[in-house]
């Protein structure tokens, strides 16, 4: 199926319009990544002579361990945020005035900085925190802050990012799906049926895009793991910040190696996510073409 010439010209104009901004971003980020790579290889030392060295990359086991922790946190947080965010969006689309109130309350949490949210979660879920005192369990309350499962960190990410997921889903399908859900309700569909058979199929692409953004953000986020997580093992973000801020300036190349590892993992996830999204769109177009 050929693309109309008018659509091709519109795409070209859009690319030309965005090209200056994209070029500037690529130059800035590319220069930063190149500087980090050169410093990790010893070509831009903080002190001493420049010489090629791979010592910053020698501790591969520690880098792999930190990468594993970061991937675990990002995967668990993204999965929980997608589920909660979709449920909030589905409720907002099917519950009328109550749904709009829930959507407004959810959106109100988006401007809260993660540092503030992490502090609030810590005060709520700590061993002697607010929730333990309300439940009367100052000694028997489970350890959620600083535990080996990173529970408080995952809950903080899921709470904050679920609001973003709900906002993306509502913005992506809110107007067209409202009429479809009303029609389905008129035909006798229950709220659960409307959510699974009307809202969820339409929300797959917004959920995929939001999930990709949330995954990459949580992969590189620093505040919540630093405040709420255990001391060891460290995720990549915490390890990079600790090494970069160390009084031992010789650890600066190792900090750059850690940061570049985080960037490489994020780029791999972005590439995989874009590939899956493109395949999903092609499959949807093929199915719509067959049905028509």
Question: How does DSSP assign 55-103, residue by residue?
Answer: GGG--HHHHHHHHHHHHHHHHHHHHHHHHHHHHHHHHHHHSTHHHHHHH
- The residues, ordered by sequence, that sit 6+ positions from 43 with a Cβ below 8 Å of its Cβ are 50, 51, 52
pLDDT tens digit sequence for 105-125: 888 888 899 899 999 999 999
Distance of alpha carbon 225 from alpha carbon 234, whole angstroms: 8
Rounded to two decimals, the pTM is: 0.86
pLDDT tens digit sequence for 46-92: 777 878 888 888 888 889 999 999 999 999 999 999 999 999 988 88
Task: Give all domains of the chain, ordered by start, each with its CATH number.
Answer: 37-43+67-291 (1.10.3720.10)
Tell me how far apart the terminal alpha carbons of the chain are, to the nearest angstrom. 14
pLDDT tens digit sequence for 16-53: 888 888 899 999 999 999 999 999 998 878 777 878 88
Query: Would you state the pLDDT for residue 284?
Result: 65
């Amino acid at each position: 199926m050929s693309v109309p010439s008018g659509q091709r010209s519109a795409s070209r104009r859009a690319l030309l319009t965005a090209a200056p901004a994209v070029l500037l971003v690529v130059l800035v980020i590319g220069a930063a990544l190149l500087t980090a790579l050169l410093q990790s290889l010893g070509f831009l030392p903080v002190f001493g002579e420049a010489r090629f060295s791979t010592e910053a990359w020698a501790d591969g086991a520690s880098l792999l361990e930190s990468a594993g922790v970061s991937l675990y946190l990002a995967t668990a947080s993204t999965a929980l945020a997608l589920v909660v965010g979709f449920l909030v969006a589905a409720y907002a689309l099917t519950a009328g005035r109550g749904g709009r109130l829930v959507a407004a309350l959810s959106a109100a949490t988006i401007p809260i900085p993660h540092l503030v949210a992490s502090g609030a979660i810590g005060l709520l879920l700590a061993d002697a925190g607010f929730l333990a005192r309300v439940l009367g369990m100052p000694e028997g309350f489970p350890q959620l802050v600083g535990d080996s499962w990173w529970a408080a960190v995952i809950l903080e990410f899921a709470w904050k990012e679920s609001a973003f997921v709900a906002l993306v889903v509502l913005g992506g399908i809110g107007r067209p799906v409202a009429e479809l859900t009303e029609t389905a309700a008129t035909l006798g569909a229950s709220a659960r049926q409307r959510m699974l058979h009307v809202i969820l199929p339409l929300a797959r692409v917004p959920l995929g895009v939001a999930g990709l953004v949330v995954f990459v953000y949580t992969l590189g986020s620093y505040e919540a793991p630093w405040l709420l997580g255990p001391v060891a093992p460290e995720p990549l973000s915490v390890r990079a910040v600790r090494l970069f801020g160390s009084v031992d300036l010789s650890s600066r190349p190792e900090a750059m190696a850690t940061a570049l590892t985080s960037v490489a993992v994020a780029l791999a996830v972005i590439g995989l996510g874009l590939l899956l999204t493109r395949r999903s769109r092609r499959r949807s177009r093929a199915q719509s073409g067959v049905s028509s």
